[in-house]
């Protein structure tokens, strides 16, 4: 277990490695790794408990005054949460990027078209996570550039892809960021897929549900708590 615990008036156990996950206010995170990372804490009752990987690519922090207890997990490999519900309203904005510990699988036209154990997910306030798979994982289909373009203020300009398996075609079913912003450089050459356009998509052994509304591309799993952006009445969120 690699966890740093900070509580007002107490000093907890600290074990650090080279990469950092996001903060969980309560619960346990299973991690691994041994390389040293940097930890910084500002002073005062309103100070922040925070840490950063040596690469500086991921940073996490929370106010001691607001939370009282912060568990900071630091690792060089993805983690698996043990029975923790995630509230999408606790996700940050700007969004966070983190590796996924569980295998990801996508089925279309009656076959597995993509599978990987090296996916990333993007976490943004009010949205279920968006999963990004390496393009090399799409071995069971043909990827064809699709017309259209959109721009994310955080990730950059997106390109769209049509997925084809023989006569089965899912138009503009995936998107990528060919030249992402520095904070999201890790998802260069990765694709996200609309779960609703596929037969089935899995996180681990769990089949996901598409994010409501059809416009956004998040994947809903059992450990998520909404309400989610895309539901009726959420346009102004």
Kindly state whether residues 61 and 131 are assigned to the same domain: no
In a domain, 125, yes or no: yes
Kindly state whether residues 108 and 221 are assigned to the same domain: yes
Say if residue 32's pLDDT is above 90.
no
- Which CATH number do you get for residue 161? 2.170.150.40
Kindly state whether residues 57 and 108 are assigned to the same domain: no
Kindly state whether residues 147 and 211 are assigned to the same domain: yes
**pLDDT in the model for residue 214:** 84
User: Of 82, 114, 137, which residue is a domain's last?
Assistant: 82
Q: Which residue has the higher pLDDT, 210 or 1?
A: 210
User: Of 82, 112, 133, which residue is a domain's last?
Assistant: 82
In three-state secondary structure terms, 71 is strand
Kindly report, residue by residue over 177-236, the tens digit of the pLDDT. Answer: 999 999 999 999 999 999 999 999 999 999 999 999 988 999 999 999 999 999 988 877
Q: What is the DSSP letter of 40?
A: E
In a domain, 113, yes or no: yes
Count how many domains the chain has: 2
Give the mean model confidence (pLDDT) for residues 58-62: 38
Q: How far apart are CA 207 and CA 90, in angstroms?
A: 23
Kindly state whether residues 74 and 113 are assigned to the same domain: no
Q: How far apart are CA 137 and CA 117, in angstroms?
A: 9
Instruction: Give me the domain span that covers residue 178.
Output: 104-225
């Amino acid at each position: 277990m690699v966890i740093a615990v900070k509580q007002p008036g107490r000093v907890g156990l600290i074990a650090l490695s080279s990469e950092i996950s996001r903060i969980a206010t309560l619960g346990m995170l299973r991690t691994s790794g041994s390389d040293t990372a940097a930890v910084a804490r500002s002073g005062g009752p309103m100070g922040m408990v925070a840490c950063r990987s040596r690469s500086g690519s991921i940073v996490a922090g929370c106010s001691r005054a607001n939370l009282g207890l912060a568990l900071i997990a630091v690792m060089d490999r993805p983690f698996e949460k043990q029975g923790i519900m995630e509230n999408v309203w606790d996700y940050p904005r700007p969004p966070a990027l983190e590796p996924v510990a569980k295998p990801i699988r996508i089925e279309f036209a009656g076959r597995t078209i993509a599978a990987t154990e090296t996916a990333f997910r993007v976490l943004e306030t009010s949205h279920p996570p968006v999963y990004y798979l390496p393009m090399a994982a799409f071995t069971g289909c043909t990827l064809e550039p699709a017309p259209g373009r959109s721009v994310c203020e955080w990730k950059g300009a997106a390109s769209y892809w049509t997925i084809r398996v023989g006569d089965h075609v899912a138009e503009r079913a995936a998107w990528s960021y060919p030249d992402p912003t520095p904070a999201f450089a890790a998802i260069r050459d990765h694709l996200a897929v609309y779960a609703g356009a596929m037969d089935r998509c899995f996180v681990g052994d769990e089949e996901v549900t598409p994010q409501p509304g059809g416009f956004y591309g998040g994947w809903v799993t059992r450990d998520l708590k909404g309400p989610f952006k895309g539901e009726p009445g959420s346009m102004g969120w």
